[in-house]
Amino acid sequence: MSVRVVARIRPLLKNTEIEKDRIIETYGEASDNKTTVRIPNPKVPAELYSFHFNSVYDDATQAELYDREISPQVRHLFKGFDVTIFAYGVTGTGKTYTMRGGKSLADRGVIPRLLSSIYRRARKIEKDTDGETQVEVRMSYYEIYNDKVYDLFEPPEQRTPAGLPIYDNRGKTVVVGLTERPCTSLKEFEQLYDQANVNRSTSATKLNAHSSRSHAILRVKVIQTTGDEVRISTASAIDLAGSEDNRRTDNNKERLVESASINKSLFVLAQCVEAISKKQARIPYRESKMTRILSLGQNNGLTVMILNLAPVRSYHLDTLSSLNFANRTKKIEVNEVENQP
């Protein structure tokens, strides 16, 4: 069981953001081996906070991030370990770009690249074993909204308001009645994934930007069968709800309920990440539905948390709170630097 926390700073947005407003600096032993993010204290700009991560990506391409952080996990997945990938950050920092990406091949994000690696490896294993080992891939896709679980393969109008029930099964928590679709190729996966994402965004318009207020969880089950032996492992890719709206003063009742449940699950998630990275015996995964369903820290799994950050001043407070969230486990250094803006 291990966790890696990596920060990804998106480039300035052409047209709207300018170099002068950049407040984040990144450091490391080499340009491709950065581990530190430095940002001023908003109240005392001469004071700089340093945050350390397993890796820091400043303006990295999709391929660089994937090849260095996610691709090595595919080997673990096929050895039978569960792999969990989170994207955390406020709206506008690049979570969707990181996880899903754009249309062009170069812009493809973590999810299509991961599936592409899984199919490539599956075909190789089948070929190398002369078909003795067969690999099957199945996907489920759901969201957790206000601590309720909804199947994204179901159109919103067919949902039961109470959400799907969950129950515990030998140390793992199982969502009852979740659709699991076999998908035999990347093309088939992408069709199902796009179709399910429509369900997520349809409900967005109905429920007030619902999509960024829910956690979307894609689970890809890899089933390797060799004779009587079956090995099952799961890759989970999670687009977390942002926490930035919690500071809004115009919170209506619906928003407050959403915020409370987002806050709670993100708080428990941070505690689990902290407990796992400190190798503590007790991981409080049972304290929110999301961490419970993922059995985060319970299995012999590997977790990668990608912290998405925007480099400019308009995100200053959000950036600090995201850095603090991800860095609960480490002591933060404060450096006094002269002549800082």
Smaller CB separation from ligand ADP, 26 or 224: 26
- Tell whether residue 91 is among the known ligand binding residues: yes
Nearer to ligand ADP, 107 or 147 (CB): 107
Q: What are phi and psi of 327, to 5 degrees?
A: -115, 25
Q: Where are the beta strands (DSSP E) in 101-191?
A: 133-145, 148-151, 166-169, 172-175, 181-182
| CA–CA dist 63, 106 (Å, integer) | 7
In the complex, least distance from residue 304 CB atom to ligand ADP, rounded to whole angstroms = 16
Residues 6+ apart with CB under 8 A from 162: 148
The C-alpha atoms of residue 311 and residue 173 are separated, in whole angstroms, by: 38
Indicate which single residue of 308, 319, 322, 327 sits in contact with ligand ADP (rule: CB under 6 A).
308
Show contacts with ligand ADP in window 248-277 (CB under 6 A).
none
Q: Binding residue for ligand ADP (CB under 6 A) from 34, 95, 219, 292?
A: 95
Question: Rounded distance, CA 158 to CA 174, Å?
Answer: 21
Q: Are 180 and 138 in contact (CB under 8 A)?
A: yes
Measured distance CA(116)–CA(114) in Å, rounded: 5
Q: Which of 40, 94, 297, 301 binds ligand ADP (CB under 6 A)?
A: 94
Residue 184 annotated as binding site? no
35 is in an annotated binding site: no
What distance in Å separates the CA atoms of residue 136 and residue 104, rounded to the nearest whole number? Answer: 27
Residue 95 φ then ψ, to 5°: -65, -50
Known binder of ligand: residue 303? Answer: no
Residue list 173-192, contact with ligand ADP (CB under 6 A): none
Contact assessment for residue 145 and residue 154, using Cβ atoms and an 8 Å cutoff: no
> Does the annotation flag 89 for ligand binding?
yes
Instruction: Pick from 10, 210, 289, 292 the residue near ligand ADP by CB under 6 A.
Output: 10
Interacting residue with ligand ADP among 91, 133, 179, 329 (CB under 6 A): 91
Q: Measured between alpha carbons, how far is 80 from 301 in angstroms, rounded to an integer?
A: 9
How far apart, in whole angstroms, are the C-alpha atoms of residue 147 and residue 260?
10
96 binds ligand ADP (CB under 6 A): yes
What does the alpha-carbon distance between residue 38 and residue 50 come to, in Å, rounded to a whole number? 4
Least distance (Å) between residue 58 CB and ligand ADP: 10
Binding mask 51-90 for ligand ADP (x = CB under 6 A): --------------------------------------x-
Please tell me whether residue 11 binds ligand ADP under the rule CB under 6 A. yes
Residue 28, annotated as binding a ligand: no
By C-alpha distance, which of 247, 276, 65, 240 is closest to 144?
240
Task: Tell me: does residue 284 bind ligand ADP (CB under 6 A).
Answer: no
Nearest-approach distance from CB 205 to ligand ADP, in angstroms: 16
**95 annotated to a ligand binding site:** yes
Which residue carries 């919170």 as its tokens?
251
| Residue 240 CB, nearest approach to ligand ADP (Å) | 10
CB-based contacts of 2, cutoff 8 Å, min separation 6:
276, 277, 302, 303
Span near ligand ADP by CB under 6 A; candidates 74-82, 92-100, 143-151, 168-176: 92-100
- Contact with ligand ADP (CB under 6 A): which of 4, 25, 92, 138? 92
Alpha-helical runs (H) found in 207-278: 253-277
- Cβ distance to ligand ADP smaller for residue 92 or 156: 92
Estimate to the nearest angstrom the gap between the alpha carbon of 59 and the chain centroid.
19
Q: Which is nearer to ligand ADP, 96 or 265 (CB)?
A: 96
Min. distance of Cβ 172 from ligand ADP in angstroms? 29
* Residue ranges of the binding site for ATP: 89-96
Contact residues for ligand ADP, defined by CB under 6 A:
10-11, 13, 89, 91-97, 308
